[in-house]
Each structure stands twice: as structure tokens, then as C-alpha cells.
Structure 1
Amino acid sequence: MTGFVPPPYPYARLDDLKVQILERHDTIVDLSIGTPFDAPPDAVVTALATSNAERSYPPSMGTPAYRAAASRWFARRFDVDVPADNVAATVGSKEFVALLPQFMSLRTPERDTVLFPAISYPSYEMGATLAGCRAVPVPFRADGAMDLDAIDPTDAERALLLWTNSPGNPTGRLDDLGAAARWGRAHDVPVFSDECYIEFTWASRGRTILEHGLDGVVAVHSLSKRSNFAGARAGFYAGDTEIVHYLRSVRQHAGLMVPGPVQTAAVVALDDDEHVEVQRDRYRRRMDLMAGVLSDWSGEEVRTPDGGFYLWIPTDDGWDYASRLGHASGAVVSPGEFYGSAGARHVRVAVVQPDDQIELVAERLRRHTRNEST
């Protein structure tokens, strides 16, 4: 009898393509993963180095200062009142996403189904798999919101939780968070809203599901994208009193703790909005540049997203597009099938590299386009 065999990590599947690219170019520009490359604010790094918080175990739920900073951030940026007692810390957000179904199934063992966007971050589905749950994708409507009416009534009855992600990774779509909250309450299904790209919303102001009340909903946030703090692993979740308190109790037993120095630095990051505006300008400029040169190279218009910092490009074959682009520009991008079978005819381009690397890709593409036209 064979036990669980983990599938290949999606991005490891790009290794062969990287070898091929290096046969044509002296360097690779990796646009496949949404890891920040720009520096966090100096004040954040200073706080990390001088906190004197490294000696003792930090509280698993987060220090009072960290949770209060998150509460202030919700009020300042989104005009939402979230008591600090309804906030708890996470070691980044990925571990929270991956472990959540396991913890929630202990709370509600009679339910076994995780609902998640059909094109999305792979950890929603993997978290369900690791917990021994059913993973059921929810399709999108034409406007980019999840089609909640398409959820089978049997799946709704068995649903342990519903994930929403807005702005969405990889699509950049903005979901109808009010509709998701109403659906969850109507079906007695907790709704978890992954909002880690909220500060990079372009089509409107950033929106959180907590605008629609805290009952039955939890918003999940991270400083990885907002503050270029991915290596420190600082995030938090906030919302429904009972769910937040239950999860922070379970997580305490699991020993999940954000390091004390990281929490001190995160307070500084959360209280500062200026560096976020600087980063917004960088990503906007990079996306506009890449969308333009990719449109010229491919002959098809590449549109910028409503949110996030990914270009989500339709194509006949995602792997073929990734290969051709890699050979032409030295850039590695992600075939859309990494984010679900429904994304197979797309590629995702993460415009996270520093300006000089984005410009290098652009110049290689311009040169390739000129050569092809002569």
C-alpha cells in the first residue's frame, strides 16, 4: 500500500527550460515567482536588528503591539474597525493557507470539503489534500468574481470553508467579497479571504471582506508583498471572534510563532504607508513597460491587471508561450496550468525583479522583435 506521494513542486518543473535559456542568454531573469526583490524600509530593518526581542519565546497569537498595529492598519487604510483581540499572527501566510483545512476539520469533523477559486494559488488545493479533505474548485463569472451559484448544493452542505482571493493570484481579478460573505453566512460556511495583494489594487481602492462585518469571515494578510518582507515571514489573520480565537488556540499547541524581532519590525512596517506608495509606483511602471513590449513581441495586446503585480496573458498553450518567451528574452515565466487546469491557456509574468532586470528583458524583446521584422 502506497501512502501520500507529494507532487512535484510546480516551479521545479521550470528547471529544464532554464537550462535551455542559458544556452541562448548569459543570464536568466526569473519572472516566475512573486518574490519581492526591492528593499524593505530602512526603519524596518533597523527595528529587526535592535528589538532585543530575540531572547524570549514570542506569543503565538502575536504581541499586543503587533496585533494593535494590524488593527490600526485596518482602520487607517480601509476604514474598518477590527479589535486587536480579533487579530492573530501567522508565520507568513502560506503556512496558514496550507494548515487551515487540518485545523478547521478538527473544529467541524462532519464536513470535509474545501472550496477555492478554480484558477488560484496552488496551496488552497494542496492544503485540502494534506488534510485529507476534498478540494472542489469554484469557476469564475465573466466579471472575474467567483460563480457562487455554480457550487453544487451537496458540496455546499459538506463545505468546511470557502477561500476567496482578491486581488487574485494569478489573474489579478477582483472578487465580489460582499457576495462571498453573504454566501458563507447563508450556508453556515466560514469564508477565508486571502488579501495579501490588497495594497496593490489598481481598478479601485483596496477592499477587504471585513467591510461586510466580521461574523463568519476571516481576512488573511501578509507583509511579504506590502513591505518587501517575505524573508521575515510575518502575516496575520483577523475577523470572526470565535474562529480567530479557536485558531490561535490550536496554533499555539502547534508551536507556530512569528519571531519576536520580526514582530517588532512588522509594527514599524504596518505603521508606515509611504514605502507602500513607493512600491506601488514601481510595480505600476514595471507592469506598463512589460505589457507594452510583450504586446509588440507577441502581436497580441497584453493587459495590465485590476490588482496584484502579475500579467495574466491568454495564449493557445502556456508552456509553448513560456518557452518562446524564454528563448527570446531570457525570462522565465509560469505556465498557467500551475494555478489549475482552467489556467492552462495562460501564462503568468511576475514583474518583481529590479528595474534594471525588467529593462534587460524589455531590451532583449525589442531586439528580437527588430530581428524578426528584418
Structure 2
Amino acid sequence: MTPPGDQPGFVPPPYPYDRLRELEPLAAAHEGGVVDLSIGTPCDAPPAFVLDALSSSGTERGYPASIGSPAYRDAAAGWLERRLGVTVAVDELAACIGTKEFVAGLPHWLRLRDPSRDTVLYPAISYPSYAMGATLAGARAVPVPPGPDGAPDLDAISADDASRALCLWVNVPGNPTGAVTDLGPAAAWGRAHGVPVASDECYVEFTWQGPRRTILEHGTDGVLAVHSLSKRSNLAGVRAGFYAGDAELVHYLSELRKHAGFMVPGPVQAAAVAAWRDDAHVDEQCGRYLARLDLLADTLCERDILAARPDGAFYLWVAAPDGDAWGLARRLAAEGGALVSPGEFYGPQGAGFVRIAAVQPDDRLELLARRLRGVG
């Protein structure tokens, strides 16, 4: 139904991954069916002790604290100190419902804070929700091209865009490229221009080259780090995360979110406490992803599709022969029964690549490898 008035209302664009349906019949024609490597949904079981905490907290009847329980925030802060080497005060950290809702909602909340600004800066090759968050807030989405090291080329940001910016998004390790870059320059740029810098660090545990990075190691003034259990602990279905950094900004956002009713459910908070406090299950998961990435990369290279282990995250970012990403996606569907994501899903500058997520069990990836090798 068309809204009243001369102008139509907002019409959501097609969800990028829905466009892969045309390739599903090609992939499904193989005995054993589709091997779906298109979306980064974890396939491995979360730890049993986390599920026990989820089912036995006794918190079902009461409203949970929007900011997160003291135990939730203490566990998250403890993880930051233990794994990333940064100390965050209790008033510099608050809960969020996973992180996608936070990513998509932040521009709207920042526009309420400062209506004079109307621009979201984000990496030109990136997760679609950074740009969509700007669109949903009625703001401008301005991509920042990557520099030689894969980090956003901050010198490419115009003075006008900087003066209008609500925030600058950064993402390390990067999705889809896997780039691991220094976050110090982004933090410094944000402070110099009075622009909050939001750092999406949901893949930080899966850092394969160099130390794990967080923007918080460069101080909390003017920055937010955003973290989630979805990838780290295979808990995408429970929706638990947090944001931490600038105390004034965290306070503003947590008060706004409290009024809007954003609350991580009590049982989920209890499960998250157990997950944030344990690292052994994450170390095991790291081993699984490394083995899967290597199997996929080796198999593709045998078929003259150049692929290499990324510096971080669990995706292969593969240049398509002749730059034809949809052609490579069709080839992998037809020859191996795999669904992969054309790079244009992550911005026009990614159009010559495909993203391949190492998120299927070992037996499914071995099946794919046999198909592509023409064995069995």
C-alpha cells in the first residue's frame, strides 16, 4: 500500500543474500545438496556450560537491566582485560542485543544527539549494515576507500564530510576482507575532527596475524568498541553483545536505549557471563576455523582460483578470474554445490571478488573439496 502524499515512503531494498536464490538450483543438483558458504552463521555447538547457564538462571520473570547486570558488565570487562589488555571502567560499558541492532541503530541515536550532522562514514568494502544504518536514520552514507594496508584512507575524507559526520565506522578484523590494521590512526582522526569512531571488533578473537586489536588500546575518549558473542562463542541465536568506550557517549546511549526498551533477556545475560569468562572454547574454535580456511584455500588453488588464508576472521576474500564475481559464484555452485557471496554485496569496490565463509562442518567442506577435485 502506498503511503498518503505525493512521495512514496522508504522501500527496503532486497536483502543482499536473497539474491543468491537463483544459484540454489545449481548447487542443490549435487548429491548431498548445497554447501552454504554465503553467510557467516556459526555451525559448531556452543559450550554445554553456557547452555546450562541459559536454562537455569531463574531470571525469566523479571525485567532485565538494559545496561546489563553487574555480572554481565563485569564478565565483559574481564574479557577485555584478559584477552585484549585494556581496562574499562563500569560506566564505560553497556549491553546490547547482539551487535547488528546496535550497528544499524547508532546513526539514528547520534542524529538525535546532534541533528546538525547527517553523515555516516564507513569502509567502502564492508558489512552492509553500516550503510543501511545511515539510510534508516535518514542520513548520508559516505564510503571511505581502503588504503594500501586495507585500513580506511582517512585522507580521502573531505572536509565537508568530516564536518557533517555523525560517526566513522571501522572494522578489524575486516569483514569481508579479513584485513587486520592499526586502529590508532582512526582514533586520532576522530578526536581531531570531533567525530565519534565506532569500531566493530566482533571477529577479534579470530586474529591470525599479529596481536588482537581494539580501538580501546588507544584510549576511550571519543571511541566505542563493539563486541559480540555471536561469532566468538557460536551464540548468534541468543543475541548478546556490548559496547564500550567514551563514558559520556556510553551513558547517553544507554539512557536512550533504556527508554526504548532495548534489553538483553535475563537468561541470555546469564549465559553470556559464562561465555565471556571462558577462553578455552574459543581457542578450540580458532583451531577449527584455521583448518577449514586452509582446506578451502588449498582446494581452490588446485582449481587455479587463487586464495589465501586471511589475516583475520573466517572468510576467504577471493579475486574472481577476469573480475567476474557472479561467474565465479555460478562456477562454484555448478562444480561444487557451494553457495558463496559476490563481493558487490559489500560495496561496489568489492565487485571483482567473492566472499567464502568457512562456516560448514568439516564433513561438508570435505564433500565440497571432493566435488571440486572431481573425486567421488
TM norm structure 1 = 0.97
Match of 1:199, SS state, is coil
Output the CA distance in 2 between the equivalents of 1:84 and 1:28. Answer: 46
Q: CA deviation at 1:20?
A: 2.6
Letter in 1 for 2:133: G
CA contact (8 A) 1:164 1:175 kept: no
Distance 1:226 1:78 in 2: 14
Indicate the residue corresponding to 2:55 in structure 1. Answer: 49
- Residue 117 of structure 1 is matched in structure 2 by 123
Work out whether residues 306 and 318 of structure 2, in 8 Å CA contact, stay in contact via their aligned partners in 1: no
**Larger CA deviation: 169-178 vs 221-230:** 169-178
Map of 1:189 onto structure 2: 195
Please name the residue that 1:171 is paired with: 177
1:66 is displaced (CA, Å) by 0.3
1:155 to 149, 153, 161: 161
CA distance in 2, matches of 1:69, 1:334: 35
* 1:356 alignment counterpart: 363
**Partner residue of 1:78?**
84
Q: 2:152 aligns with which of 139, 146, 149?
A: 146
| 1:17 Cα deviation after fit | 0.6
Indicate the residue corresponding to 1:367 in structure 2: 374
Letter in 2 for 1:198: V
Structure 2 residues without counterparts, runs of 5 or longer: 1-6
> What is the match of residue 3 of structure 2?
none
Determine the structure 2 residue equivalent to 1:17. Answer: 23
Please say if residues 208 and 312 of structure 2, whose CA atoms lie closer than 8 Å, have aligned partners that are also in contact.
Answer: yes
Runs of 4+ in 1 over 6 A off after TM superposition: none
Which residue is 2:346 aligned to?
339
In structure 2, the residue matched to 1:306 is 311
Look up the match of 2:67.
61
User: Residues 146 and 176 of structure 1 are in contact (CA less than 8 Å); yes or no, is this contact kept in structure 2?
Assistant: no
Offset at 1:26?
A: 4.2
- Matches of 2:99 and 2:177 in 1, distance apart? 19
Amino acid of the residue matched to residue 306 of structure 2? E
1:176 Cα deviation (Å)?
A: 2.3
For residue 45 of structure 1, give the secondary structure of its aligned residue in structure 2: helix
Q: Displacement, 1:22?
A: 2.0
Distance 1:176 1:157 in 2: 24
* Corresponding residue number in structure 2 for 1:90: 96
Letter in 1 for 2:81: A
Q: Is the 8 A contact 1:68 1:84 kept in 2?
A: yes
1:264-279 to structure 2, matched below 5 A, reads: 264-279=270-285
Q: Is 1:323–2:330 an aligned residue pair? A: yes
- Give, in whole Å, the separation in 2 of the partners of 1:269 and 1:342: 36
TM-superposed deviation, 1:25: 4.2
Q: Please, which of 15, 35, 39 is the counterpart of residue 33 of structure 1?
A: 39
For 1:25 and 1:183, locate their aligned partners in 2 and report how far apart those are by CA, in whole Å: 53
Amino acid at match of 1:339: Y
Q: CA deviation at 1:301?
A: 2.5
- Read off the aligned partner of 1:337 and give its amino acid letter: E
**Shift of the alpha carbon at 1:174?**
1.5
CA contact (8 A) 1:29 1:331 kept: yes
RMSD: 1.0
Q: Summarize deviations over 1:319-361 as a string: whole Å, max 9, x none.
A: 1100001111111000000000110000000001111111111
SS at match of 1:36: coil
Superposed displacement of residue 363, structure 1: 1.1
Which residue number corresponds to residue 136 of structure 1? 142
Of all paired residues, the percent bearing the same amino acid is 62
Gaps of 5+ in 1: none
Secondary structure in structure 2 of the residue aligned to 1:119: coil
SS in 2 for 1:305: coil
User: Residues of 2 paired with 1:271 and 1:220: CA distance?
Assistant: 18
**Among candidates 218, 224, 248, match of residue 242 of structure 1:** 248
Distance in 1 of aligned mates of 2:28 and 2:46: 31
Q: For each residue in 1:207-265, what CA deviation from the matched residue of structure 2 results, as whole angstroms up to 9, or x when unmatched?
A: 10000000000000000000000000000000000000000000111111110000001
Displacement of 1:112 after TM fit?
0.4
Q: Give how far 1:285 is off.
A: 0.3
User: Aligned with 1:321: secondary structure?
Assistant: helix
Alignment partners' CA distance in 1, 2:113 and 2:181: 27
TM-score, normalising length: structure 2: 0.96
